[in-house]
Amino acid sequence: MSTILGELAGVKAKSARYTSLHLLAKLALPFSISLSLLHATEPVQALSLAAVSALACILAGVSLKVLKKYIAVIVSMSAFIVLAFTLFTNLPGRMLYEITLWRMEAEKGVLEWKLSVTDTSLNYAAAFILRILAMVLSAALFLATVSDRDLVWGLLSLRMPFGVCVAASLFFRGTQLFISDFHTVREAMMARGVDFARTSLAKRFLLYVNALIPLLSLMITRSYEVSLALESRGIAPKSRMASGYHSFKLNRHDYTVVALSILLLLAFAAWGWLA
């Protein structure tokens, strides 16, 4: 199943059984994982939650290779977390390594800035890194399985105004068209001899700025065409949906996923409270 949100994030779900679930069920699992992050403060808890997130992605048909796309973000954030706990904190615990980086003697005492590594700081850093991993996997699960159609019909099921639902649908479709136009403009620039692979970062930025001119022109043209299409069909912000044929009923698979999501959240909440 290909979704607009999945295309933006570069993830795709291959399990037809999971993607055919009700919107409530597909929202319950990633949201329960996200809420469980608040209670996973220990490395073992965070590792368990990351394993649950990875298992959910596998069952939904989301390849774990998606982590390659975000490995730079994960590594940079992990390095920042480790440096923060070693350079700017002094957590009590068994000292593993310590070195004085800066020392100044004054009349009222000595000011020191030390790089100290304790077992407590390493535990905190490992827990934060594993929580980031679980958060990335749960976000990939959400983006790959929840389509724009699900969100629009979900708004309709919540009795939202028809104009709001139309605006949400146009937003997702407009995003997809913008990405398609961007690839078209980029391929046209490459056909005229622009080599993005060998171009410096500064020059590449200027080329993308120049590409905004045709993209904005196409965006204005499409907006005018969409407004004419809506006007010709008599759709206004205060319009109402005449009839509907989409069913919002939940089946036993949906109830099972929702129940497991709630149990997951309660289990991690109890685990965090007992710890």
Q: Are 127 and 33 within one domain?
A: yes
pLDDT tens sequence across 49-64? 999 999 999 988 888 8
Q: Are 21 and 136 within one domain?
A: yes
Task: Assign 94 to helix, strand or coil.
Answer: coil
State the alpha helices, DSSP H only, in the chain: 4-9, 16-19, 23-36, 43-60, 71-87, 119-145, 148-157, 162-191, 201-232, 252-274
Q: Are 258 and 132 within one domain?
A: yes
Which of 130, 117, 67 is CA-nearest to residue 88? 117
pLDDT tens sequence across 29-48? 999 999 999 988 888 999 99
Q: How far is CA 30 from CA 7, 36, 61, 120, 136, in A?
A: 18, 10, 15, 29, 10
Compute CA 104 distance to the chain's CA centroid, rounded to the nearest angstrom.
Answer: 45
Residue 4: pLDDT band (50, 70, 90) is: low
Percent pLDDT > 90 in the chain is: 13
CA distance 248 to 171: 23
Q: Are 21 and 100 within one domain?
A: yes
CA distance 72 to 180: 26
- Is the model's pLDDT at 242 over the cut of 70? no
Q: Are 184 and 252 within one domain?
A: no
pLDDT of residue 159: 72
Buried b (16+ CB within 10 A) or exposed e, 142-180: bbbbbbbebbbbbbbeeeeebeebbebbbebeeebeeee
pLDDT tens sequence across 168-219? 777 777 777 787 888 888 888 888 888 877 888 788 888 888 888 888 888 8
Q: Are 123 and 25 within one domain?
A: yes
| Mean pLDDT of the 72-95 span | 74
Q: Are 217 and 251 within one domain?
A: no
Q: How far is CA 204 from CA 25, 90, 151, 180, 210, in A?
A: 43, 43, 35, 19, 10
pLDDT of residue 262: 94
Q: Are 127 and 27 within one domain?
A: yes
Q: Whole domain around residue 89: which residue ranges?
A: 8-146+245-274
Q: Are 36 and 137 within one domain?
A: yes
CA distance 145 to 19: 6
* Number of separate domains in the chain: 2
What global pTM score does this model have? 0.71
| Mean pLDDT of the 132-152 span | 83
Question: Is 259 a member of any domain?
Answer: yes
pLDDT of residue 170: 79
Q: Are 142 and 226 within one domain?
A: no
- Is the model's pLDDT at 266 over the cut of 80? yes
In one-letter notation, the amino acid at residue 81 is: I
CA distance 227 to 236: 10
Q: Name the more confident of 121 and 97.
A: 121
pLDDT of residue 51: 93
